[in-house]
């Protein structure tokens, strides 16, 4: 069942249009993540849904009812802000209970509600403290508690983990995921971190310059990126994208790199119909390149190691090949040295091809 | 290593000497400023406890037997003085409350909303402070008379508050500017109205600004002479007018009583400023450095 319906959203600041005709639905209980680089319009869309920004064009429907003109309170949304936005002069208990106090909920009931939320988030022992006496992670939990206590129809998260250090971010990410699995409240989450998007989302909308670049499950975006932007944005390290020319030689498909290097694909490799006389962009993820032959039909590519970045068990190997730079994620057994020749293998099925002009996926 | 040390050491010694000289000059300057500003006050307060004949003795006595005769005279011969202090208090408190209430509201509007009208009106707010008070006093006289507000507490309360509301608005705006807007947004999402956001979230965080404004208005209203002289005659007369009457008495100026009156008049504001000194400095420097 559709809980939220965003229909042809447009946002203008004077003559400047920053969100262009965007439409999507959020299913009941779904965790939807809006991801994209700074300035792509993701936070603006979230704030339009929250009621903090006026909707310049289009319609917002909740449970089928138009809510464009309603206040945030009337829309029954709760929001977790990037900087937590906790009231510094109030205790944790007052912060969480503020919305209930404004709604004139009797004191006893209010206290019970605050306690319920505090117990779920394990912050019961912090209720008397002020925000300045809390750590970053504790503040974040209070901010989530403040949103939870209202039992909203829709949870909105505006980059809630971006102020935390890497370890705490991973911990809080897990907590938000568990919380959603327990509460199953419809949620809309904004982040610029593709890892957060991949780990949390039921569905991701990847935005670019106020447009939807791709919408789908995390697997859809990772395995079948719709365009070069999504291919490069989703996944870390980023996908290798190189301009190539595909041609047939002696019945085999040969990919010629711009700088002259060649990759010969095994017999029977099926490529989508190519555009621009075979001048396309080819993409392969670093984790799909291997220094050892993989079983089955593999393609090979040869080059010289340029740089090594050890990650612990794995190592990122950057290789110069035919004027292009490729990065491979390999198992680190101390076998690599800068300047050394290297042959990388990959499964041709893992190859992504994009139109060099429109940058859209082929096939 | 030794070369480096021999190069560094003389420099360090020179820097130490320069630092000491700077500290001495700074201390001397402070002492000079304190003496310059505290001397008249100290002279008045000490003189109020001296016998009449000792007041103008040269060189003045630092050590003397204190007397309260001037304070007794102030209470018995100038019976209007203490009741007019009550008037001063009513007017000062009233003006402070009115100016602060108006400035909190207008400071919030100037901080959180922006349009052409607001941008233009800032100029008028500041311009009004540039006029000498006498310029507005005379045209006000018939207005006050027509409204039958002459010689009332209300006229002084409204005038003093109006005179200060522009500067206090700017002080409040500066304080509210420093409060993150996401707090307003969090309150709105929590279901607060604009007024609830202002009074439950913004104002508690801008209390330092409110205190600074309150002190400015209170001290001005407590000491103000010109408006009080023109718009009051009997009922709403404030203490500074009685002090001026002591000075202009037909029997000649009784300097002892005058100094006693001034000392009593000084006490409440001195206490207030001492208690709220940190708020005052915060108000004076609001917006001068990036937070």
With contact defined as beta carbons under 8 Å apart, do B233 and B218 qualify? no
- Cβ separation of B192 and A102 shorter than 8 Å? yes
pLDDT above 50: residue B1? no
Testing the interface with A: which of B115, B179, B188, B191 to mutate, by most A Cβ within 10 A? B191
Consecutive H or E run containing B187: helix B181-189
Identify the residue whose tokens are 């670019």. A208
Residue A248 and residue A228 in one domain: no
For residue A22, the domain's CATH number is 3.40.50.300
Mean pLDDT of B44-65: 86
Mean pLDDT of A48-70: 94
DSSP 8-state assignment for residue A227? B
CB atoms within 10 A of CB B254: 19
**Using CA atoms, how far apart are residues A344 and B59, in angstroms rounded to an integer?**
101
DSSP 8-state assignment for residue A15? T
Residue A225 lies in a domain: yes
pLDDT above 60: residue A149? yes
pLDDT category, B290, cuts 50, 70, 90?
A: very low
- Least confident interval from A66-80, A265-279, B264-278: A265-279
**Using CA atoms, how far apart are residues A195 and A293, in angstroms rounded to an integer?**
29
With contact defined as beta carbons under 8 Å apart, do A149 and A69 qualify? no
Identify the residue whose tokens are 């319609």. A59
Mean pLDDT of A321-339: 89
- Cβ separation of B183 and A85 shorter than 8 Å? yes
Domain count across chain A: 2
Strand A31-35 to A203-208 pairing: parallel
pLDDT for A151: 85
Residue A361 lies in a domain: no
Tell me whether B186 touches chain A (CB under 8 Å). Answer: yes
pLDDT for A38: 92
pLDDT above 80: residue A15? yes
* Residue contacts between A and B (CB atoms, under 8 Å): 52
pLDDT category, A262, cuts 50, 70, 90?
A: confident
Mean pLDDT of B253-277: 88
Identify the residue whose tokens are 């190691």. A305
pLDDT for B286: 54
Identify the residue whose tokens are 């991801």. A35
- Cβ separation of B185 and A52 shorter than 8 Å? yes
Mean pLDDT of A256-262: 78
Consecutive H or E run containing A270: none
Question: Contacts of residue B204 in chain A, CB cutoff 8 Å?
Answer: 89
pLDDT for B288: 43
Q: Note down the domain range covering A246.
A: 240-355
Strand A252-257 to A324-331 pairing: unpaired
Shortest alpha-carbon distance between residue B191 and chain A (Å)? 5
On average, the pLDDT of chain B sits at 87
**Using CA atoms, how far apart are residues B249 and A133, in angstroms rounded to an integer?**
62
Residue A125 and residue A197 in one domain: yes
- Using only C-alpha atoms, chain B has a radius of gyration, in whole angstroms, of 25
Residue A259 and residue A210 in one domain: no
pLDDT for B287: 45
Residue A229 and residue A244 in one domain: no
Residue among A82, A86, A102 whose CB faces B191 most closely: A102
pLDDT above 80: residue B213? yes
CB atoms within 10 A of CB A92: 27
Mean pLDDT of A188-196: 94
Q: Dump pLDDT digits (tens) for B146-183.
A: 999 999 999 999 999 998 999 999 999 999 999 999 99
Strand order in the sheet with A240-249: A262-264, A252-257, A240-249, A279-284, A352-355
Tell me whether A89 touches chain B (CB under 8 Å). Answer: yes
Residue A170 lies in a domain: yes
Shortest alpha-carbon distance between residue A141 and chain B (Å)? 15
Mean pLDDT of A94-108: 95
Shortest alpha-carbon distance between residue A172 and chain B (Å)? 21
Q: Dump pLDDT digits (tens) for A197-245.
A: 999 999 999 999 999 999 999 999 999 999 999 999 999 899 999 998 8
With contact defined as beta carbons under 8 Å apart, do A289 and A346 qualify? yes
Strand A211-216 to A65-66 pairing: unpaired
Mean pLDDT of B190-207: 93
Tell me whether B136 touches chain A (CB under 8 Å). Answer: no
Question: Contacts of residue B201 in chain A, CB cutoff 8 Å?
Answer: 87
Shortest alpha-carbon distance between residue A163 and chain B (Å)? 15
Residue A362 lies in a domain: no
Tell me whether B18 touches chain A (CB under 8 Å). Answer: no
Residue A360 lies in a domain: no
3-state SS, residue A133: helix
Shortest alpha-carbon distance between residue B101 and chain A (Å)? 21
Residue A126 and residue A207 in one domain: yes
- Cβ separation of A79 and B186 shorter than 8 Å? yes
A332 burial type by CB count under 10 A (0-12 exposed, 13-18 middle, 19+ buried)? middle
3-state SS, residue A283: strand
pLDDT for A297: 63
Domains of chain B: 2-69 (no CATH), 70-284 (1.10.3720.10)
Domain C-terminal end among A233, A263, A279: A233
Supply the pTM of this predicted model: 0.81
CA B187 to chain centre: 34
**Using CA atoms, how far apart are residues A352 and A239, in angstroms rounded to an integer?**
10
Question: Which residues are CB-neighbours of B167 under 8 A, at least 6 positions away?
Answer: B129, B216
pLDDT for B291: 32
Question: Contacts of residue A102 in chain B, CB cutoff 8 Å?
Answer: 190-192, 196
Mean pLDDT of B40-57: 88
pLDDT category, B9, cuts 50, 70, 90?
A: low
Question: Which residues are CB-neighbours of A152 under 8 A, at least 6 positions away?
Answer: A76, A77, A78, A185
Question: Contacts of residue A51 in chain B, CB cutoff 8 Å?
Answer: 188-189
pLDDT above 70: residue B225? yes
pLDDT for B280: 66
Residue among B185, B196, B201 whose CB faces A87 most closely: B201
Closest by CA position to A225, among listed A193, A202, A198 = A198
Residue A249 lies in a domain: yes
Testing the interface with B: which of A51, A85, A162 to mutate, by most B Cβ within 10 A? A85
- Cβ separation of B191 and A103 shorter than 8 Å? yes
pLDDT for B6: 54
Residue among B188, B204, B205 whose CB faces A52 most closely: B188
DSSP 8-state assignment for residue B202? I
Tell me whether A100 touches chain B (CB under 8 Å). Answer: no
Residue A116 and residue A18 in one domain: yes
Cα torsion for A300, A306, A311, A312, to the nearest 10°?
A: 80
Residue A136 and residue A171 in one domain: yes
This complex has an ipTM of: 0.85
Tell me whether B61 touches chain A (CB under 8 Å). Answer: no
DSSP 8-state assignment for residue A132? G
With contact defined as beta carbons under 8 Å apart, do A257 and A322 qualify? yes
**Using CA atoms, how far apart are residues A180 and A34, in angstroms rounded to an integer?**
16
- Cβ separation of A85 and B185 shorter than 8 Å? yes
């Amino acid at each position: 069942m559709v809980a939220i319906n965003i229909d042809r959203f447009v946002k203008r600041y004077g003559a400047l249009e920053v969100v262009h005709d965007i439409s999507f639905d959020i299913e009941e209980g779904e965790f939807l993540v809006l991801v994209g680089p700074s300035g792509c319009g993701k936070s603006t869309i979230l704030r339009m849904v929250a009621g903090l920004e006026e909707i310049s064009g289009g319609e917002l429907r909740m449970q089928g009812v138009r809510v464009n003109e309603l206040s945030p309170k009337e829309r029954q949304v709760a929001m977790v802000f990037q900087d937590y936005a906790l009231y510094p002069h109030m205790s944790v208990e007052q912060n969480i209970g503020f919305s209930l106090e404004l709604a004139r909920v009797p004191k006893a009931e209010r206290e019970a509600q605050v306690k319920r939320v505090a117990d779920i988030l394990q912050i019961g022992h912090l209720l008397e403290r002020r925000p300045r006496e809390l750590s970053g992670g504790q503040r974040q939990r209070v901010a989530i508690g403040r949103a939870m206590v209202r039992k909203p129809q829709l949870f909105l998260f505006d980059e809630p983990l971006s102020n935390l250090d890497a370890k705490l971010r991973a911990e809080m990410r897990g907590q938000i995921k568990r919380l959603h699995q327990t509460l199953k409240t419809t949620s809309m989450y904004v982040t610029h971190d593709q890892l957060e998007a991949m780990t949390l989302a039921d569905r991701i909308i990847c935005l670019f310059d106020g447009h939807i670049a791709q919408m789908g499950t995390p697997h859809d975006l990772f395995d079948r990126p719709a365009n070069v932007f999504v291919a490069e944005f989703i996944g870390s390290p980023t996908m290798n994208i190189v301009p190539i020319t595909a041609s047939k030689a002696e019945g085999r498909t040969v990919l010629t790199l711009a700088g002259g290097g060649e990759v010969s694909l095994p017999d029977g490799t099926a490529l989508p119909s190519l555009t621009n006389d075979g001048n396309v962009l080819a993409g392969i993820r670093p984790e799909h390149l291997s220094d050892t032959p993989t079983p089955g039909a593999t393609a090979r590519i040869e080059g010289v190691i340029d740089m090594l970045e050890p990650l612990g068990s794995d190592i990122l190997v950057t290789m110069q090949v035919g004027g292009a730079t490729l990065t491979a994620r390999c198992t680190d057994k101390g076998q690599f040295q800068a300047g050394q020749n290297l042959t990388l293998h990959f499964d041709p099925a893992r190859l992504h091809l994009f139109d060099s002009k429109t940058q859209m996926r082929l096939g | 290593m030794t070369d480096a040390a021999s190069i560094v050491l003389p420099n360090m010694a020179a820097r130490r000497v320069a630092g000491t000289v700077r500290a001495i000059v700074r201390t001397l300057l402070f002492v000079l400023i304190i003496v310059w500003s505290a001397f008249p006050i100290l002279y008045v307060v000490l003189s109020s406890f001296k016998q009449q004949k000792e007041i103008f003795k040269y060189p003045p006595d630092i050590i003397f037997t204190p007397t309260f005769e001037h304070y007794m005279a102030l209470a018995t011969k100038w019976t209007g003085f203490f009741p007019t202090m009550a008037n001063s208090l009513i007017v000062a408190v009233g003006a402070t409350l009115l100016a602060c209430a108006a400035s909190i509201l207008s400071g919030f509007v100037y901080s959180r909303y922006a349009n052409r009208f607001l941008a233009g009106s800032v100029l008028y707010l500041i311009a009004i402070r540039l006029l000498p008070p006498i310029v507005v006093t005379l045209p006000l006289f018939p207005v006050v008379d027509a409204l039958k507000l002459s010689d009332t507490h209300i006229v002084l309360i409204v005038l003093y508050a109006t005179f200060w509301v522009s500067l206090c608005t700017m002080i409040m705006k500066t304080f509210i500017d420093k409060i993150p807007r996401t707090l307003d947004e969090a309150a709105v999402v929590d279901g607060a109205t604009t007024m609830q956001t202002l009074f439950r979230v913004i104002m508690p965080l801008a209390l330092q600004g409110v205190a600074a404004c309150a002190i400015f208005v209170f001290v001005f209203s407590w000491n103000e002479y010109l408006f009080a002289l023109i718009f009051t005659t009997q009922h709403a007369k404030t203490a500074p007018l009685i002090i001026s009457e002591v000075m202009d008495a037909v029997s000649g100026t009784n300097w002892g009583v005058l100094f006693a009156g001034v000392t009593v008049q000084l006490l409440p504001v001195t206490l207030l400023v001492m208690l709220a000194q940190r708020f005052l400095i915060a108000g004076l420097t609001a917006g001068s450095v990036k937070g």
